[in-house]
């Protein structure tokens, strides 16, 4: 079933003859003019939870009972999505560091250029959906240039980056394009991992719906956010060795003290404990974690801990 008006935008052709293209879905509201809200997912191909959120949003609003227009990009990086890879397999580039792109560059840069031209410059509001990938799980929302929209998603933890510490970490991300245009932008990190994604999908759909309420795209009052924690710094803790990560961390959104055990890396061959991973952050809060015991490599995403200082 096609929902809304579907448009296929060609990017390039592979050596196999296969076409690389983006699928955009446009849903027009029937209750008068309003903003064009762009919702995208799978800029990183191993983060399909966002794609499922976009699908359910499309189903929820297929009847057009809203104002304005929804422009949906469910799979921003089809090559990485097919390979279940964070980076584009053909050039090993991180698409979310390449915006606004380059038509004469790597295939990922060409993809970024088309997304910029056909999506990011055509919208009045951006909701960019990410997740923890195929093993870790994450739960927080960035505060960028519209705090009320970020809070409306409903996550317990929000991240307001400290410019003095974050430096150039956001250079080349999708929001660098939209924020340069003064477009309200929300980046959501929700779900992922080897667990049932249904609760995260439901939360994501409700969060997007609540943003539409705040924007008056829907004729109903927004739901107030829960008690929320704002952190200004997030520390990524990576294992130094590979093996089986036996996670010991508290649930996402919960406090964790400095020095507390996050997990152990155990050798699947000798059964020896190769490394104990401990929290380096005073007065921390869990942002990203492995909710199941997973295989990890040296330098993988292990944990992310926000600083409550």
Say what percent of the chain tops pLDDT 90.
Answer: 94
CA gap 120, 111 in Å, rounded? 12
Q: What does the pLDDT read at residue 168?
A: 63
Residues of the chain with CATH 2.40.50.100: 233-307
Q: What does the pLDDT read at residue 162?
A: 82
Residue 269, pLDDT above cutoff 60: yes
Tokens of 62: 């297929």
Contact of 279 with 259, CB cutoff 8 Å: yes
Question: What global pTM score does this model have?
Answer: 0.96
Using alpha carbons, select from 88, 110, 118 the residue that is nearest to residue 23.
118
Helix (H, G, I), strand (E, B) or coil at 90: coil
Using alpha carbons, select from 300, 49, 60, 81 the residue that is nearest to residue 199.
49
Tell me the pLDDT tens digit for each residue of 5-62.
Answer: 999 999 999 999 999 999 999 999 999 999 999 999 999 999 999 999 999 999 999 9
Using alpha carbons, select from 5, 129, 146, 140 the residue that is nearest to residue 75.
129
Contact of 186 with 144, CB cutoff 8 Å: yes
Tell me the pLDDT tens digit for each residue of 92-147.
Answer: 999 999 999 999 999 999 999 999 999 999 999 999 999 999 999 999 999 999 99
Residue 55: which residues within 8 A CB-CB, separation 6 or more?
Answer: 74
CA gap 108, 93 in Å, rounded? 6
Decide: residue 111, CB within 10 A, 0-12 exposed, 13-18 middle, 19+ buried.
buried
Going by the DSSP 8-state scheme, the letter that residue 95 receives in this structure is G
Residue 147 is inside which H or E element, if any? helix 147-152
Residues of the chain with CATH 3.40.630.10: 5-229
Tokens of 304: 């992310």
- Is the domain 233-307 a CATH 2.40.30.10 member? no
Averaged pLDDT for residues 206-222: 97
Using alpha carbons, select from 79, 65, 14, 4 the residue that is nearest to residue 39.
4
Residue 213 is inside which H or E element, if any? helix 198-214
- Is the domain 5-229 a CATH 3.40.50.300 member? no
């Amino acid at each position: 079933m096609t929902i809304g008006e579907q448009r296929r935008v060609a990017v390039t052709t592979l050596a196999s003859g296969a076409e690389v293209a983006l699928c955009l879905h446009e849903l027009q509201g029937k209750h008068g003019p309003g903003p064009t809200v762009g919702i995208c997912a799978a800029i990183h191909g191993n983060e399909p939870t966002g794609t499922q959120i976009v699908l359910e949003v499309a189903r929820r609003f297929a009847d057009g009972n809203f104002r304005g227009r929804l422009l949906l990009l469910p799979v921003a990086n089809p090559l990485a999505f097919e390979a279940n890879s964070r980076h584009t397999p053909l050039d090993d580039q991180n698409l979310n560091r390449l915006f606004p792109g380059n038509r004469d560059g790597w295939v990922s840069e060409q993809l970024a250029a088309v997304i910029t031209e056909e999506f990011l410059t055509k919208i009045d509001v951006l909701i960019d959906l990410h997740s923890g990938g195929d093993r870790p799980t994450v739960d927080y929302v960035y505060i960028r240039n519209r705090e009320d929209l970020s809070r409306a998603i409903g996550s317990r933890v929000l991240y307001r980056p400290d410019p003095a510490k974050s430096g150039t970490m956001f250079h080349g991300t999708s929001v660098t394009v939209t924020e340069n245009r003064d477009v309200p932008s929300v980046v959501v990190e929700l779900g992922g991992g080897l667990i049932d994604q249904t609760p995260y999908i439901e939360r994501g759909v409700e969060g997007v719906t609540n943003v539409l309420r705040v924007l008056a795209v829907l004729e109903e009052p927004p739901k107030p956010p829960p008690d929320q924690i704002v952190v200004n710094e997030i520390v990524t803790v990576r294992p130094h060795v590979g093996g089986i990560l036996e996670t010991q961390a508290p649930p996402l959104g919960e406090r964790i003290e400095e020095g507390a055990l996050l997990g152990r890396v155990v050798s699947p061959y000798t059964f020896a404990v190769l490394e104990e991973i401990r929290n380096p952050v005073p007065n921390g809060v869990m942002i990203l974690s492995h909710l199941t015991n997973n295989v990890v490599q040296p330098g993988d995403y292990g944990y992310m801990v926000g600083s409550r200082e």
